[in-house]
Structures are given as structure tokens and as C-alpha cells.
Structure 1
Amino acid sequence: MKLASHIAIGVRDLERSLVFYRDVLGMTVIRDAVNAPPRDELYGAHVCSTRRREVMLRMDGNEGEGFGDRVFLAISQSDELADNSSLNLEHIGIHHIGFWVDDIPALAERLRAAGHEPISIKDTIGVGYGESADQKMRAMFVRDPDGTILQFDQRVD
């Protein structure tokens, strides 16, 4: 198995989420399309039963050699919005997504300027990342506009 091909997040207001992911986090839109409900022989009604707009975004520095090496983020808004809350770290299911970044203090400043206060910023070591205990790390957690937890990790020299 290789890297993930993509991560998908359902959102309540796609335009609001685009401002966050594209303008605040600096991701690049690589596709913006409306997807019709899939036919049963493709995915089945249990996977997606409604039309939805989906925007695919890529973070800078994530332009691998081949298409299969390029992880992207997909955010989508369905015509029939679900009435559920985002998950917390103790919940079952995917409760947060982590991204490597080069400068957490600069990103935290951009987030705050846009009205998104980080949940926490902490210094740690590389053991939890499968690296040496000598590797200094920094981690920041923030919620997106719908409450999805995002983690940003930085190797600190």
C-alpha cells in the first residue's frame, strides 16, 4: 500500500469552507465539480444517495512524482445536509486529520487573523511520529468551520 490518495470531509457550507481551506490554509483548488448520485452498480445507495458539489484541494509541497503519489483533500456539500456534529478525539471513526507544515507560528497567525483560534500548540518529540526522540516537533490543533479537527505538525531544528 502507498500513501492515501485523498481525504474527504463533508461540510455544511462549501463556500465558507473554501475560504478556510483555500484562502486561510493556502491550499490550491485542483477540481470543482457537481457529482450526481451514483448508480447502484458503481457505489451503491449506501455510500452516497444525493447530488453533491465537491472541491478537491492540494497543499503546496504535495506534488509527488506520479498522480498516485499526490494526496489531496476533497470537501463536499450534499444537497441533503446531514444533521450531525463533528467528532472529538475520543470518538470512534476518523476524528482528526494531520498535515505536515513548515511554519506553525506563521500558520497560527494566519488562522487567528481569519478568526480561527487554535485549540492548542505544543512542543513534543518525534517518538509519536515514528522518529527519533531527539527530533523536536511542534503540533497545532484547530477546528475547521464545521468543527472537524485538523492537526498540523512541524519538525523543529
Structure 2
Amino acid sequence: MILTEIDHVAIAVHDLEQAIFFYESAFGASVLHREVVEHDGVEEALIRVADSYVQLTTGTREDSPISKFLAKRGEGVHHIGYRVDDCAAAIESMVAAGATPIDAEPRPGSRGTTVAFIHPKGALGTLIELVQE
């Protein structure tokens, strides 16, 4: 099995501070990690849930994927991140199964991870992020 566990569920939000406050108030949650990923134009806050995360994310510029998503669809689930032992092998396996990669090769992600995205059109309508720690 290539997938080792669910890394995160990413939720696109307009106001990151307000979203963090909601999760703190509603669930007693606290932010474990916060980061701006400049090359993707996003800011994220990770809330740990067992061995996985809820990733609250917002765009930092108009052309970022999150900003475009929010403009088109509004707030909500953006993608699912799956942990894998080998991101390159996971891309190959998904392509062999008919998926279309957004990232043809793994690239640096947040928290020092290696990541790659798979397009929803070839993945049952779900944007998938492969995450190698």
C-alpha cells in the first residue's frame, strides 16, 4: 500500500485569523504549526487531530490556487493530503492508474516535507496532495 495515512484535510478560508478563532472556540483546538509558503502564495495553520491535521489555508496573492478556489467556489474543503513513503513512486503509481499529475516531480512543501499534487479530473474529483515527510 502506497498510502500510509491521511496527512491533512485542507480547508480554504477567506480569513485565516477568524478560522483559527472558530476552531479554538468550537473544538478547543490550537495551532501546532503556521507557515507562509511563498512559491504557492498561501498561508496555512495546522491543527493536529490525532496523527493528522486540519490545514486552514488562505491565499496571500490573487493568483494563488487558494485565492482562485475561494473566488470560484467560496470557503470549504480544498484537498486531501495523503502521506506516502516515496512521493515520486506515488506519482508513478497514480499516473499508471490514470491520474493526471499537477506536479510531474516532487517539490518542497511546508514543514520540510516533499509534496506533489494530483489533478481532480483524474482522481475521482478530488484534488490530492501526496506528502512525504
TM-score tier by shorter-chain length is 0.3 to 0.5
Higher strand share: 2
RCO greater where, 1 or 2, for CA within 8 Å and sep 6 or more? Answer: 2
* TM-score, normalisation: structure 1: 0.38
* TM-score, normalisation: structure 2: 0.44
Name which one, 1 or 2, has greater alpha-carbon Rg: 1
